[in-house]
Amino acid sequence: MADGFDIHVDKDRAERLAGAARSVGLTPEAYVLSLVDDAISIPSGDAQLVESLRRLDEYDRTGEACTVDEVFDRIEARIQARMAEHG
């Protein structure tokens, strides 16, 4: 059984973590521990939740998002492409 471990975070990640931690009023260490606690509390079979959290993290990191209309347009384009393939 693990007694614990240390992890090295590169400068870019450390700066992003520090900023994210500040935004919620935590130290970087407390913030990372809360993320770890959240990650290991997810039931292993809940792929949809894991994917949603990954997408939320990507949004938090980049600030990039798309509208519902853009999502529907992408879905419609994929449907049309598949229909064309199977003709």
**What's this model's pTM, rounded to 2 decimal places?**
0.48
What is the helix (H) or strand (E) element at residue 22, kind and residue range? Answer: helix 11-23
Cβ burial of 37 (10 Å; 0-12, 13-18, 19+) is exposed
Indicate the Cα dihedral angle 68, 73, 78, 80, nearest 10°: 140
Task: Write the pLDDT tens digit of every residue in 50-65.
Answer: 788 888 888 888 888 8
Cβ neighbours of residue 43 closer than 8 Å, sequence gap 6 or more = 49
The answer to whether 31 touches 21, Cβ cutoff 8 Å, is yes
Of 15-19, 53-57, 76-80, least confident by mean pLDDT is: 53-57
